[in-house]
Amino acid sequence: MEHKPVRAIFPGSFDPITNGHLDVIGRGNKLFDELIIAVGRSPVKEELFTQAERVAMISRLVSDMPRVSVESYDCLTVEFAAQKEADVMLRGLRNLTDVQYEFQLAMTNRSVAGIETVFVMTSEEYGFVSSTMVRQVALLGGDVSKLIPLPVYKLLRERLKEMGGN
């Protein structure tokens, strides 16, 4: 029986990408033959970085990872997955709250689009980190340098200065 390469997408807004995201990407890179990091826009979140900025940022961070690519999309995630002929959707889990939300999303995606979801647990040190939390702490002047990659931290500080913040 011939092995069919498995293509996965890892969707998110990644605004900004965190060390937790990179942890999930590293795990996904080991699990799948191809991993597409799918950078979307959230209609309910105010963006700190443009979609193009996030794609460029992430592309630099994963440039040494074989079989990982980064693309943006502006449609339903399941539509993007179908366009890319993805076999599975990769999702990271941090805590029980994530489990409830992600379970519902995975069931909906399977029912509506027939795509399976594969979950990986983030490492313990990233179990509390989210892009939303990073944005909020940074906007209030807190130190998020240990939560996001150094190049992203530098870009975040520049963006905050442009916005008149700390």
Active site residues: 21, 45, 94, 131
Tell me how crowded residue 86 is: count the other CB atoms within 10 A of its CB. Answer: 26
Distances, alpha carbon 103 to alpha carbons 10, 18, 54, 116, in Å? 16, 22, 27, 11
Reported in sequence order, the residue ranges of 86-142 that DSSP labels E, i.e. its strands, are: 88-93, 116-121
Q: SS3 for 67?
A: coil
| Residue written as token pair 């191809």 | 34
Cα–Cα distance, 144 to 39 (Å, whole number): 22
Burial call 15-25: b when 16+ CB within 10 Å, e when fewer: bbbbbbbbbbb
